[in-house]
Structure 1
Amino acid sequence: MPINRAALIACLSLLAACSPQAADSTGDVAADAVTQPAAADTAAAAVIPAADDADAVATLAGTLEEDQQARVAAGCTVPDDVGFVQDIRIYCDMPADVQAFIARENSCQHFAGEEAYDDARRRELEAATAKFCDDREKIFADLVARHRDDCAIRKALIGVNLRYDLSPDLDLKPCEG
């Protein structure tokens, strides 16, 4: 399921604004009541993070901007499942088998980071993990072997290997020359 990144940023901003750190940094509640924004401004104010959390949200917003810029510059349609900006940047320059692996690995990473909050969700995550994560090292090793003579693909695969810690034993080295 694709993630609406703007909604994610808004939710994270709200969480940051409602965090205990944000509450601690607001000072006296009575003083705040005097300076409360008008009702029309309340929604906008709610998404402004506390000063302590501003850097984290700004970094996330910068990442979203980089993601959007990378998708525009990619040269092809990059599936929403590909969410890591470095993968977006290389996606269109890769052959179909590498593209499929990148999309699969991004889905694997997504589901690996999800929480199983009940039995139904646990079963859903187990099925997704089996679909997207099983045999990932073997599939990756096959890609490396298949594309060993193409330096550009090899370089991209080295980056993918480093990002996702797929096969440290492959001892991948860039092409010489």
Structure 2
Amino acid sequence: MILTALLALALTPQTLPREVRAYVARRDKCDHFRGEDSPDEARQKEIEAATIRFCTGADRQLARLKRIHAHNRAVQRRLGRYDPRIED
């Protein structure tokens, strides 16, 4: 039970390094817009612009953060949720 509580604490966003928290926020927006589609042409353009804004460079940044924080299990678990290749 104590181990479970410690693991939960280790995975809270506040305990992650600032650059990882920033990436998570950006990547979550990226994934949201990647999954959205609209029949409305104006809205579709907004979605495409947001996808470019939030997703460009995501693969490279994810790999960099995983490399920099290779020994931080909480970071690795959090970043492991993301597909490493979305920009192909």
Once residues 42 and 77 of structure 2 are traced to their aligned partners in structure 1, the CA distance between those partners, rounded to angstroms, is 40
Q: Where does structure 2 lack aligned partners over 5 or more consecutive residues?
A: 1-7
* 2:15 corresponds to: 93
Match of 2:27 among 105, 118, 122: 105
Check whether the contact 1:90–1:156 (CA below 8 A) recurs between aligned residues: no
Is 1:156 aligned to residue 74 of structure 2?
no
What is the TM-score of this pair, normalised by structure 1?
0.39
Bigger radius of gyration, 1 or 2? 1
Check whether the contact 1:108–1:128 (CA below 8 A) recurs between aligned residues: yes
Is 1:145 aligned to residue 62 of structure 2?
no
Q: Aligned in 2, Cα 1:151/1:126: closer, same or farther, shift over 3 Å?
A: same
What is the TM-score of this pair, normalised by structure 2?
0.72
- Return the letter of the residue paired with 2:20: V
Number of residue pairs matched?
A: 77
Measured after TM superposition, the shift of residue 90 of structure 1 is: 3.0
- Return the letter of the residue paired with 2:31: Q
Q: Aligned in 2, Cα 1:154/1:114: closer, same or farther, shift over 3 Å?
A: closer
RMSD, matched Cα = 2.1
Runs of 4+ deviating beyond 2 Å: 149-158
Identity percentage over the alignment? 36
Once residues 118 and 153 of structure 1 are traced to their aligned partners in structure 2, the CA distance between those partners, rounded to angstroms, is 38
Once residues 110 and 143 of structure 1 are traced to their aligned partners in structure 2, the CA distance between those partners, rounded to angstroms, is 21
Once residues 129 and 111 of structure 1 are traced to their aligned partners in structure 2, the CA distance between those partners, rounded to angstroms, is 6
Q: Aligned in 2, Cα 1:112/1:93: closer, same or farther, shift over 3 Å?
A: same
Match of 1:115 among 37, 49, 52: 37
